[in-house]
Amino acid sequence: PETTMGYSFEECSATAEWLLSQTKIRPLVGIVCGSGLGGLAEMLKDQTAFKYSDIPNFPQSTVHGHAGRLVFGMLKGKACVCMQGRFHLYEGYPIQKVTMPMRIFKLLGVETVILTNAAGGLNQDYKVGDVMIIKDHINMPGFAGNNPLAGPNDERFGVRFPSMSDAYDRELLQLAQCVGAELGFGDFLREGVYCVLGGPSFETIAECRMMNRLGADAVGMSTVHEVIVARHCGMRVFALSLITNQAVMDYDSQEKANHEEVLETGQLRAEQLEKLVTNMVTHIEHN
Ligand code: 6GU
C-alpha cells in the first residue's frame, strides 16, 4: 500500500547508503539553511556537494533563493552535512516529502540538527534583523491534522506518540546565548515562539493579531515539520529565525510582506548568522 508515501525506512536507507558511498565525510551535525541563508553551506571545507536532482529518491527544490544542494564538509574541523535550500509545504509536496531529509540525516549518523529560517516578527519589541532563537513552536497545520508523522509509524525511526515539550534542546539554547554574547550579538539576539503556517500567501492582519495573542513571536512557513521528524528519530534540535520583516498588525500600515525584503535582510545578517552557527558547531559535544 501507498502508506509510506515512498519514504519508507528501506528507501531512506538506500538514499543514505548511496550518499555515504560517495563521500568520506561522516557528519554528526546536520544544518538546514533558510531563505537567503545558503551562505552557511559555502563555509564548509573539503566539500562534497550533491544537487538534489542527483540524489536517489530526493525531492527537488523550486523556490528562488534556494540553491538545492546537499553539501558535506568540515566546519572548523567538525564533519557536517548542510541542506542548501529546503522543501516547503507550499511547493505542493506531501508533508512526508518535506521532512524526508531529516530521516536521511539520521541515517547518515547525524546527532544534532541546526535549522535556520526567515520569519516575520509578530512580537512588537522585535526589529527587522533580529535573530530569534526558537524555544518553542505552534504547529498550526498540525491542529488540522497535517502532521508529518501522520500515518503508520515505523518504530525503527521512533515511537508512535513522541513528546514535543522537549523539542528544542535546552543546552543548545544556552550554548547559542553564550556564543552570541561572546560575539557581541546581545543587542539583536532574542528567544521566542515560532508559529508555522502552510503559506504561500502571507498572513492577513487579523491572522497576525490572532497568532500574537496566542503567544507567537514570529511567523513562517517552515522548520516545525522538520523539527517534529528530527525529534521523532531522536536527534537534538536547535533552530533560529532571522526576523526579515515585521508582520503587518495594523490597518493603518502601508507595509506589506514581500519575498524580496526577506532575501535582502538575509544578506544583511548572513555573515553574523554564519559566525553564530559556526562557533556553536565547534562547541557541540557528541557521544
Ligand atoms: Cl511575514 N510570514 C510568513 N508566513 N513567513 C515569512 C514572513 C512572514 N517573513 C518571512 N517569512
From 4-18, 86-100, 154-168, 202-216, the region with the lowest mean pLDDT: 4-18
117 CA closest ligand 1 atom index = 11
pLDDT above 50: residue 1: no
Residue 199: phi, psi to the nearest 5? 65, -170
Q: Which residues have C-beta atoms less than 6 Å from ligand 1?
A: 118-120, 197, 199, 202-203, 219-221, 244-245, 247, 257, 262
Residue 3 has pLDDT above 80, yes or no: no
Q: Which residues make Cβ contacts (< 8 Å) with residue 257, sequence separation at least 6?
A: 120, 202, 203, 245, 247, 248
Of 17-21, 64-68, 111-115, 146-150, least confident by mean pLDDT is 64-68
Q: Residue 2 pLDDT > 70, yes or no?
A: no
* Catalytic residue set: 35, 66, 88, 90-91, 118, 221-222, 245, 259
Q: Ligand 1: which of 202, 225, 246 to mutate, judged by most atoms within 8 Å of the beta carbon? A: 202
Q: What is the ipTM of this complex?
A: 0.93
C-alpha 217 chain-centroid distance: 17
Q: 222: CA distance to ligand 1 center in Å?
A: 10
Q: What is the DSSP string of 240-263?
A: EEEEEEEPP--TT------HHHHH
* Nearest CA residue ID for atom 3, ligand 1: 220
Coil vs helix vs strand at 223: coil
Question: Which amino acid residue places its CA nearest to atom 5 of ligand 1?
Answer: 220
User: How many Cβ atoms sit within 10 Å of the Cβ of residue 248?
Assistant: 18
User: For a pLDDT cut of 90, what percent of the chain falls above it?
Assistant: 83
- What is the maximum alpha-carbon separation in the chain? 57
Separation of 226 CA from ligand 1 center, angstroms?
A: 17
Q: How far is the CA of 219 from the centre of ligand 1 (A)?
A: 6
Q: Which atom of ligand 1 is nearest to the CA of 220?
A: 5
Q: How far apart are CA 94 and CA 45, in angstroms?
A: 33
Residue to mutate (ligand 1; options 209, 245, 268; most atoms within 8 A of CB): 245
> Cell 543587542 sits at which residue?
187
Confidence band of 106 (pLDDT split at 50, 70, 90): very high
User: What would the mean pLDDT of 30-47 be, rounded to a whole number?
Assistant: 90
**So what's the pLDDT on residue 5?**
64
DSSP string, 75-124: ETTEEEEEEES---GGGT--HHHHHHHHHHHHHHT--EEEEEEEEEE-ST
Question: What sign does the CA torsion over 97, 64, 265, 141 have?
Answer: negative
CA distance 65 to 38: 8
Q: Is the pTM of this model over 0.90?
A: yes
Atom of ligand 1 nearest to the CA of 257: 1
Taking only the tens place, the pLDDT of each residue in 228-270 is 999 999 999 999 999 999 999 999 988 888 888 888 887 889 8
Compute, in angstroms, the gap from residue 120 CA to the centroid of ligand 1. Answer: 4
* Whether the Cβ atoms of residue 39 and residue 135 lie closer than 8 Å to each other: no
Residue from 219, 223, 249 to probe ligand 1 pocket by mutation (most atoms less than 8 Å from CB): 219
Return mean pLDDT, the chain.
93
Summarised one tens digit per residue, pLDDT across range 43-100 is: 999 999 999 999 999 987 666 655 689 999 999 999 999 999 999 999 988 999 999 9
